[in-house]
Copies of this chain bind each other. A is one copy, B any other.
């Protein structure tokens, strides 16, 4: 049994979910996001690559419909007791079995809240679902019901988040120990991810991002590795993970002498991050945080080099991405509240000179100023 929270913690989360459902008149949730299932029950799997659904009723019944390989997985990792299986049958869809299950739960004509906005429900399965349930019940998109509850962390979650942050720092230090002229990106990556695994963490919800030379300007991972040259730059965006909770960091390391352009970009990034910290607190929205970043960036003439977002929430996330809701972009009216875990990244990529600079870390919000969860300095890292 690998249950990472007390039963009382899961009960509190279920109570909160049931209350939010009652507020919206929802009789049962059809949960498809692995994040929702993990948060509500501990169920930990990548079995959402196939069709699966966790039904949660307003009177707190939990029924999981999944594929056989996940029966034992649900038993070993979650508090779910009622697990039903569907079987691969050529072209047959498991949605029919879901409908029967809902019928058995006496949900004919009920109002069902559905998580459509998740990688746990493909468009194909979503279409089958709508087709099968359209005349059976009243279907409403309730994709944000659980994520809104998940966005504010409990004390027990924050313990895991702090451990994830500790592992992120260790990962950076392990990477720095390998970074030098001639070093292979693959070896740097092995050292960084290895530090997380050896510390008891797991795979991140997306690849660590590692790119050097002209690829230091990228902010996604890709296949193919290179070796560092004598004067180089390497961008690292990575996360410590613990019990699926993420704490991310981002740095661009300069190898050899820094250029004037590196220093200019770094000055803008550092100042923008300070401006972000000043508004990352209750009384401000996620849009305010983005605007604080943009204002500094644009004063430094960085508008052509910056992105249209400067970070996001973190939590217990599954593939394909650790980016959680809400995000820092223009017009996002979500409010900053205490005990959120927020990753702010300042990303600059100057194509004309081929120069990259990034600076990012994860914060725990409070009633007042946010607490950085990393003990690493914000200095521009330079090797050699």
Q: Is the interface of A mostly helix, strand, loop or mixed?
A: loop
Q: Are B221 and A203 in contact (CB under 8 A)?
A: yes
* Number of identical protomers: 2
Set B69, B126, B193, B319: member contacting A219, Cβ < 8 A: B69
Q: Are B46 and A221 in contact (CB under 8 A)?
A: yes
Which residues does chain B contribute within 8 Å of A2, judged by CB atoms?
215, 222-224
Q: Does A381 touch B at the CB level, under 8 Å?
A: no
Complex CA gap A184/B243 in Å reads 16
Complex CA gap A121/B125 in Å reads 11
Q: Does A258 touch B at the CB level, under 8 Å?
A: no
Q: Are B87 and A308 in contact (CB under 8 A)?
A: yes
Q: Does A207 touch B at the CB level, under 8 Å?
A: yes
Set B4, B76, B87, B186: member contacting A214, Cβ < 8 A: B76
Complex CA gap A330/B191 in Å reads 43
Q: What's the tally of chain A residues with a CB closer than 8 Å to chain B?
A: 85
Q: Does A105 touch B at the CB level, under 8 Å?
A: no
Which residues does chain B contribute within 8 Å of A194, judged by CB atoms?
190-191, 193-194
Q: Does A284 touch B at the CB level, under 8 Å?
A: no
With A119-B320, A126-B123, A320-B46 known as contacts, the answer to whether A68 contacts B223 (CB < 8 A) is no
Which residues does chain B contribute within 8 Å of A283, judged by CB atoms?
none
Which residues does chain B contribute within 8 Å of A202, judged by CB atoms?
207, 221-223
Complex CA gap A76/B242 in Å reads 32
Set B88, B207, B351: member contacting A308, Cβ < 8 A: B88
Q: Are B88 and A329 in contact (CB under 8 A)?
A: yes
Q: Are A217 and B44 in contact (CB under 8 A)?
A: no
Which residues does chain B contribute within 8 Å of A229, judged by CB atoms?
none
Which residues does chain B contribute within 8 Å of A186, judged by CB atoms?
197-201
Which 3 A-B residue pairs are closest in the complex by CB-CB distance?
A123-B126, A49-B321, A319-B319
Binding site for B on A (CB under 8 A): 2, 4, 32, 44-49, 68-70, 72-73, 76-77, 87-90, 116-119, 121-127, 129-130, 141, 143, 184, 186-187, 189-191, 193-195, 197-203, 206-208, 214-215, 217-225, 241-244, 307-309, 318-321, 323, 327, 329-333, 349, 351
